[in-house]
């Protein structure tokens, strides 16, 4: 139904309503009213609309410790399934989850490309390949919007690195933009008609996207026919008149920084913004309200609720298991046979850590989280002895003080009291409880007006010792134990964003505690006078973190402990990877090594020396260095697979699920082999400039070009093992590539399961351009894929189709898509590695032609 059509529930006509709004009222719609809501207009009964993070779960309005929510697998995990149907089912479930938080727009999915394995936010996006990203994201959007919850495709455009993302300028060629970085957005917009698109923080070729008419109006709206709302990332609006004229409909969050009534009216009075343009921006907001049902059955605000649905639990577990990628399986050590598991060593710093999600906007307060250790102990009977050691300390920031803490109301945790003066005098105007020694006022509208905060708890340690503490604050602060100042921070933090992410630098010290004694701990903190976080949203906010590790825990020789347990076990299963402290929005990684200081690599190496049945489960959103690969029997890549992560992993390890995940990324042997080495992340910290030097040679396209005479990567894009085996029996094609939009190519493939177990194989088709080209082109590019589920011995036929856009390159002179004449090869197989592409077909294009974008 078009926006101008009457809503059958209440006969609201958007255009008629728009005409009734005064200019002031229209302007009020162009910025959020608060952190998560748009503005309401009571005079005409226009309601506000609530939005929510994020791409793998509907967190709701509270960034920390809010109403619990279901946590789904991250988008990179979904991409590893190569399963479009599953992605749509997850999107639909996320639409249902959003409604439990009273929100009818979800801030996801993220479709920016994986440019580098050091990308801190890669896990939140799908893939290095634009087609895989676009197709799976499109299904996600379709599922989400089937629940009348709007998708917000982000971050448009080129938010591939998080280092200096608020101020970085990215130099990207026109061709790379079109073929690699705009392409997934184009696929999503044209395939699924998302209701919202979110602009990114960085500058692209010298201009912020929110102020770029070329990106928002010319490409997104005019060329791709996007008819939804364009909003900024939180704090990513950078101008008043320029952003309005470029096509940015909504500044978020509110209250407005750039779009106050006075600022916008001044622009109108000066003639730099027309009232017609204002009306167009306001109309987009009204249309979104209409599409989400806010003028009809969803008019009233809904309180946040925690609804733990059994069907969502099941889907999360299914999707998490299907995304796991089996990378090595020597002598078919997996799946494990419970009859042979009399004694298991469950080791590693992530054995009792549920790596459900990465850090930042993807984080949420899960209904529950299943760790691998939880899953093992719940599933294996008394006949199996389970041994455990973490084997390595990987603290980046000490874990928040929590156990033994009681707040002022006698409940577990801490009390925060907010004062409107710097002296912390009088009665606090607002107070709240926190379960742990961490709080932040950002995104908490109720804390507005504070000048100082006191964080208080009564702590009773359960062991005596000279324990380890850490402490930090966003602004100046003092920490007290029994009213004595123990530590003081005299300057504001260097990076305020780090507090949102839990990765800030801290003061570390020790304090002697006696078991059972009551210690009064409080921290007084003040609003920072100046911050260096580069994002104005942190201005005027306070954060405090108080960490704690017992002396016994810190000083245990956990490596020796783990090795001793491994010696006794039938199998040693190591759970390693990144936590949210190490892999998160807001920062990129320094290298491809597992944290911290080689401790996890040492653990794996030493365990493998004493147990020949060593299995490694790695949980990261990126490829990592694996110097011990030859020493272990099996390697499983688990990504961040949601709240059921422990169960999903065990389903694969014990063969309840036959692994079918495929890598949506290339796994380099070393970082120096990547196309972006020296031109990514921390390389641009001082200059705030980064050049996309690789052009269109992203991911496997780069490795194809530069490593053609040797094994390209450690594990290629599209690679993944199974407990079964499959054969491609017959491949044929029909159709043609032409300028006729009805033409296309369809590949038919017959597949057989030649193994002993039911399983799934993903057939992948790549297109190689003619050998004689007028322009330098990648050796091949993915044009389609099909996942086929087969019983033991079963044969099936499947098809993969593509059209002319898969054969085109961007001509920077004509500013058009061009398809050159010649013979194109279609390579069909089970990964991007040449040895796995065993079938080659040909399609001829008799004449070069071009077409408009």
Which amino acids are annotated catalytic? 233
CA neighbor of 113 nearest in space, from 167, 76, 77, 163: 76
CB within 8 Å of 310: residues ≥ 6 apart: none
Please name the helix (run of DSSP H) or strand (run of DSSP E) that holds residue 15, with its range, or none. helix 14-20
CB within 8 Å of 417: residues ≥ 6 apart: 424, 428, 430, 431, 453, 454, 456
Q: Residue 332 and residue 820: Cα distance in Å, rounded?
A: 47
Q: Residue 530 and residue 509: Cα distance in Å, rounded?
A: 26
Whole-number Cα distances in Å, 615 to 568, 573, 601, 774, 816: 15, 5, 13, 49, 51
Q: What is the 3-state secondary structure (H, E, C) of 397-464?
A: CCCECCCCEECCCCCECEEEEEECCCCCCCCCCEEEEECCCEEECCCCHHHCCCCEEEEEEEECCCCC
CA neighbor of 699 nearest in space, from 658, 730, 663, 753: 663
Residue 746, number of CB atoms within 10 A of its CB: 13
* Partners of 343 in beta bridges: 385
- What token pair was written down for 155? 């971050």
Helix (H, G, I), strand (E, B) or coil at 182: coil
Helix (H, G, I), strand (E, B) or coil at 766: strand
| Placement of tokens 């952003």 in the chain | 243
Please name the helix (run of DSSP H) or strand (run of DSSP E) that holds residue 139, with its range, or none. helix 130-145
| Placement of tokens 């960085």 in the chain | 202
Q: Residue 501 and residue 362: Cα distance in Å, rounded?
A: 11
Reported for 214-218, long-range contacts at CB under 8 A and 24+ positions apart, including other chains, are 215/156, 215/157, 215/246, 216/246, 216/247, 216/248, 217/246, 217/247
Where would I find the H helices in 627-771? 645-653, 700-706
């Amino acid at each position: 139904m078009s926006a101008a059509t009457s809503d059958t529930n209440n006969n609201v006509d958007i255009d008629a309503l728009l005409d009734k709004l005064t200019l002031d009222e229209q302007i009020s719609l162009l910025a959020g009213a608060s952190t998560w809501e748009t503005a309401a207009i009571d005079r005409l009964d226009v309601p506000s609309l609530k939005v929510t993070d994020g791409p793998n779960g509907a967190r709701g309005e509270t960034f920390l410790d809010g109403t619990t929510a279901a946590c789904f697998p991250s988008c990179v995990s979904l991409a590893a399934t190569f399963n479009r149907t599953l992605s749509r089912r997850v999107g639909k479930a996320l639409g249902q989850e959003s409604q439990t938080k009273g929100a009818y727009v979800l801030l996801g999915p993220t479709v920016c490309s994986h440019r580098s394995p050091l990308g801190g936010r890669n896990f939140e996006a799908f893939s290095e390949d634009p087609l895989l990203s676009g197709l799976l994201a499109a299904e996600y959007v379709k599922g989400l919007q089937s629940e009348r919850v709007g998708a917000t495709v982000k971050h448009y455009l080129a938010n591939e690195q998080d280092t200096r993302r608020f101020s970085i300028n990215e130099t990207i060629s026109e061709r790379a933009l079109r073929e690699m970085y705009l392409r997934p957005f184009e696929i999503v917009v044209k395939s699924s008609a998302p209701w919202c698109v979110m602009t990114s923080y960085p500058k692209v070729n010298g201009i912020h996207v929110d102020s770029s008419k070329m990106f928002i109006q010319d490409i997104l709206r005019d060329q791709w026919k996007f008819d939804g709302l364009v909003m900024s990332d939180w704090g990513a609006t950078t101008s008043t008149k320029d952003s309005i004229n470029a096509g940015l409909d909504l500044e978020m969050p509110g209250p407005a920084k750039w779009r106050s009534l006075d600022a916008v009216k001044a622009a109108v009075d000066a003639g730099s913004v027309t009232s017609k343009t204002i009306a167009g921006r306001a109309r987009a907001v009204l249309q979104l309200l209409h599409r989400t049902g806010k003028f009809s059955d969803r008019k009233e605000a809904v309180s946040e609720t925690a609804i733990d649905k059994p069907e969502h639990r099941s889907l999360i577990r299914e999707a998490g298991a299907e995304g796991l990628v089996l990378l090595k399986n020597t002598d078919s050590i997996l799946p494990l046979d419970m009859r042979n598991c009399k004694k298991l060593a469950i080791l590693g710093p992530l054995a009792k850590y549920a790596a459900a999600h990465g850090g930042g906007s993807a984080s949420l307060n899960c209904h529950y989280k299943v760790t691998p250790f939880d899953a093992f102990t719940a599933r294996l009977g008394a006949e199996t002895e389970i041994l455990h050691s973490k084997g390595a300390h990987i603290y980046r920031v000490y874990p928040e003080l929590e156990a033994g803490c009681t707040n002022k109301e006698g409940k577990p945790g801490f009390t925060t009291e907010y004062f409107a003066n710097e002296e912390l005098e009088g009665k606090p105007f607002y107070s709240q409880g926190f379960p742990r020694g961490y709080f932040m006022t950002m995104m908490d509208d109720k804390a507005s007006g504070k000048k100082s905060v006191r964080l208080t708890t009564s702590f009773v340690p359960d062991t005596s010792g000279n324990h380890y503490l850490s402490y930090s604050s966003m602004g100046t602060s003092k920490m007290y134990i029994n009213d004595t100042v123990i530590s003081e921070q005299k300057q504001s933090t260097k990076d305020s964003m780090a507090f949102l992410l839990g990765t800030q630098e801290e003061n570390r010290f020790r304090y002697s505690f006696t078991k059972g004694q009551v210690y009064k701990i409080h921290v007084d903190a003040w609003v920072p006078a100046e911050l260096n976080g580069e994002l104005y949203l942190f201005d005027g906010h306070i954060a405090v973190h108080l960490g704690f590790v017992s002396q016994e825990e810190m000083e245990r020789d956990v490596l020796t402990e783990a090795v001793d347990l491994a010696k006794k076990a039938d199998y040693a299963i190591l759970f390693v990877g990144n936590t949210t402290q190490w892999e998160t929005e807001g920062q990129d990684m320094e290298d491809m090594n597992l944290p911290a200081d080689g401790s996890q690599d040492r653990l794996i190496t030493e365990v493998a020396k004493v147990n020949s049945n060593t299995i490694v489960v790695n949980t990261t959103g990126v490829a990592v260095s694996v110097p011990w690969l030859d020493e272990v029997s099996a390697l499983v890549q688990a990504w961040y697979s949601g709240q059921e992560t422990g169960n999903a992993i065990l389903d694969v390890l014990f063969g309840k699920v036959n692994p079918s995940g495929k890598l949506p990324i290339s796994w380099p042997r070393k970082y120096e082999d990547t196309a972006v080495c020296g031109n990514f992340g921390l390389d641009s910290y001082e200059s705030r400039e980064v050049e996309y030097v690789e052009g269109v040679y992203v991911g496997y396209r780069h490795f194809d070009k530069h490593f053609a005479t040797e094994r390209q990567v450690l594990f290629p894009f599209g690679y993944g093992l199974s407990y079964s085996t499959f054969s491609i029996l017959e491949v044929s094609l029909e159709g043609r590539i032409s300028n006729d939009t009805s033409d296309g190519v369809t590949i038919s493939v017959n597949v057989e399961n030649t193994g002993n177990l039911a399983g799934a194989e993903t057939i992948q088709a790549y297109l190689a351009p003619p050998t004689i080209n007028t322009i330098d082109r990648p050796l091949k590019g993915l044009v389609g894929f099909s996942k086929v589920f087969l019983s033991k011995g079963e044969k099936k036929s499947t098809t993969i189709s593509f059209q002319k856009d898969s054969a085109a390159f961007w001509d920077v002179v004509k500013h058009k898509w061009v398809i050159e004449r010649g013979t194109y090869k279609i390579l069909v197989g089970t990964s991007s590695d040449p040895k796995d592409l065993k079938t080659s077909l040909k399609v001829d294009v008799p004449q070069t032609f071009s077409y408009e974008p």
